[in-house]
Amino acid sequence: MSVATKMAILLFTLALCAKLSAKQTAVMIDLTEQMAYLLEDGRVAYVSPIASGKEGFATPAGSFRVISKDLNHQSGNFGLITDPSGRILNPNATPVSYVPPGCRYLPAPMPYFMEFRKYIGMHAGFLPGYPASHGCVRMPRDLAAKFFAQVQIGTPVKVIGNARNVKRVRRAIPIVQPGIFRYAANAS
Say how far apart CA 183 and CA 87 lie, in whole Å.
11
Q: What is the DSSP string of 37-100?
A: EEEETTEEEEEEE-B-B-TTSPPPPEEEE--EEEEEEEEEEEEEEE-TT--EEEEEE-TTS---
CATH architecture of 24-76+108-183: Beta Barrel (2.40)
The residue ranking higher by pLDDT, 3 or 44, is 44
Q: Taking the model in full, what pTM does it have?
A: 0.77
Radius of gyration of the chain (CA): 20
Q: Give the H or E element holding residue 25.
A: strand 25-30
Q: What is the pLDDT of residues 43-101, one digit of tens each?
A: 999 999 999 999 999 999 999 999 999 999 999 999 999 999 999 999 989 999 999 99
Among residues 81, 131, 124, the alpha carbon closest in space to that of 105 is found at 81
Pairing relation of β-strands 156-160 and 25-30?
A: parallel
Q: What is the pLDDT of residues 160-174, one digit of tens each?
A: 998 888 766 666 665
b/e code 43-81 from CB counts within 10 Å (16+ = b): eeebebbbbbbbeebbbeeeebebbebeeebebeebbbb
Q: What is the DSSP string of 88-135?
A: EEEEEE-TTS---TT-EEEEEEEEEEEEEETTEEEEE--B-SS--BSS
Say how far apart CA 153 and CA 116 lie, in whole Å.
9
Domain ranges of the chain: 24-76+108-183
pLDDT (average), residues 104-121: 96
